[in-house]
C-alpha cells in the first residue's frame, strides 16, 4: 500500500516537472497589410471657349443690365470709327494698320453776302501800303522772290473772316465767291525783287494776300503754289509790311 502511494507520488512529480519545463507556445497575430492598389485620379478636360470678339459700346439701346454702358455690337472688319481710311505701317518684321487723320473734302457754303455790312466799307482813301513779298528757305535762309506776283487787300468783314478761318486756316474749300466782293478789293503786282505798293487805301483792317509758285529752291520735290496771308491795320500815311513765309 505504501509502495503504491510512493509510486503515484513520483509519477505526479515527473508529470508536473515535465509540464513546467515545456516552453510556452507562441501566438502569432497576423495584421492585414495595406493594399498597394492605386486609385486613379479623376481626369479633367478643358472646355474650348469661342474667341472673344472685339466690341464697341453704343449708348443708344437700353436693353442691357447696365444702362450706362449701352448695347454691345461687333466692330466691322477694316472699318475704323475715327478717320476716313486705313494705311499700312511696317513695325519690325510685321505690318500694322494705322489710321490716317480726317481730311476735309466737303465744300463749305459761304455765308450770304452781308450787303449792310459792306455799306460801311470805304472804297477810296489816301493811305499807302508798301513792302516786300517773299519766301524764305528755313534750311538755307535763301529768300525767294518772283516778279509779277498778284497781291490783294481784302477788307476784314464777316464774309472775309469766314474765308480766313475755314479756307486759309482750316484747309476747307468754300463755295464760289459772291462777285460783289470784287468791288471792295484792291490789287497790285510785285516787282522782280518782291517790292509792292498799294495807293489810295482807306483806313481800316485788311487781309494782305499773295501766292508764290516755288519748287526745289523752296525744298519741294515739285512746283507748288504757296499762299501767303497776313492781317494788317492801315492808318494814315504809309504802312510798311512784309508778306513772307518760311518753307518747306
Give the start-to-end residue ranges of the domains of the chain. Answer: 124-247
C-alpha grid cell for residue 242?
Answer: 512784309
Q: Which residue has the higher pLDDT, 227 or 147?
A: 227
More confident: 123 or 60: 123
Read off the pTM: 0.57
pLDDT at 218: 87
In the numeric block, which cell numbers belong to residue 101? 487723320
Predicted local distance difference test score (pLDDT) of residue 8: 54
**How would residue 219 be classed by pLDDT, with cut points 50, 70 and 90?**
confident
Distances (CA, A) of 84 to 29, 73, 172: 92, 20, 16
pLDDT band at 60 (very low <50, low <70, confident <90, very high): very low
Q: pLDDT per residue over 86-111, tens digit each?
A: 344 444 455 444 444 455 568 999 99
The pLDDT of residue 146 is: 86
pLDDT of residue 207: 98
Residue 22: count other Cβ atoms within 10 Å of its Cβ: 8
> CATH: 2.60.40.1120, 2.40.50.140, 3.10.20.30, 3.40.1010.20. Which one for 124-247?
2.60.40.1120
CB atoms within 10 A of CB 240: 10
Look at residue 3 and tell me whether its pLDDT is greater than 90. no
Q: Looking at residue 11, what is its pLDDT?
A: 54
| The pLDDT of residue 179 | 96
pLDDT at 122: 94
Give residue 48's pLDDT. 55
Tell me the CA distances in angstroms from 122 to 166, 182, 200, 241, one per residue in order.
Answer: 25, 13, 11, 21
Cβ neighbours around 129 below 10 Å, total: 21
Specify burial of residue 245 (Cβ count, 10 A radius: 0-12, 13-18, 19+). Answer: middle
Amino acid at each position: 500500500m505504501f509502495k503504491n502511494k510512493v509510486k503515484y507520488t513520483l509519477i505526479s512529480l515527473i508529470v508536473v516537472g515535465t509540464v513546467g519545463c515545456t516552453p510556452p507556445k507562441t501566438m502569432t497575430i497576423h495584421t492585414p497589410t495595406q493594399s498597394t492598389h492605386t486609385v486613379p485620379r479623376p481626369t479633367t478636360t478643358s472646355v474650348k471657349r469661342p474667341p472673344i470678339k472685339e466690341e464697341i459700346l453704343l449708348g443708344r439701346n437700353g436693353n442691357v443690365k447696365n444702362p450706362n454702358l449701352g448695347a454691345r455690337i461687333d466692330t466691322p472688319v477694316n472699318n475704323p470709327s475715327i478717320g476716313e481710311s486705313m494705311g499700312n505701317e511696317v513695325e519690325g518684321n510685321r505690318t500694322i494698320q494705322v489710321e490716317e487723320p480726317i481730311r476735309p473734302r466737303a465744300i463749305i457754303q459761304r455765308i450770304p453776302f452781308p450787303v449792310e455790312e459792306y455799306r460801311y466799307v470805304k472804297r477810296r482813301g489816301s493811305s499807302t501800303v508798301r513792302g516786300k513779298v517773299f519766301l524764305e528757305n528755313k534750311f538755307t535762309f535763301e529768300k525767294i522772290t518772283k516778279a509779277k506776283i498778284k497781291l490783294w487787300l481784302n477788307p476784314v468783314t464777316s464774309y472775309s473772316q469766314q474765308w480766313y478761318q475755314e479756307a486759309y486756316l482750316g484747309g476747307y474749300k468754300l463755295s464760289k465767291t459772291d462777285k460783289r466782293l470784287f468791288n471792295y478789293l484792291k490789287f497790285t503786282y510785285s516787282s522782280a525783287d518782291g517790292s509792292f505798293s498799294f495807293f489810295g487805301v482807306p483806313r481800316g483792317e485788311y487781309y494782305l494776300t499773295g501766292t508764290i509758285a516755288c519748287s526745289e529752291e523752296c525744298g519741294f520735290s515739285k512746283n507748288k503754289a504757296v499762299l501767303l496771308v497776313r492781317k494788317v491795320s492801315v492808318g494814315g500815311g504809309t504802312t510798311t509790311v512784309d508778306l513772307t513765309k518760311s518753307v518747306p
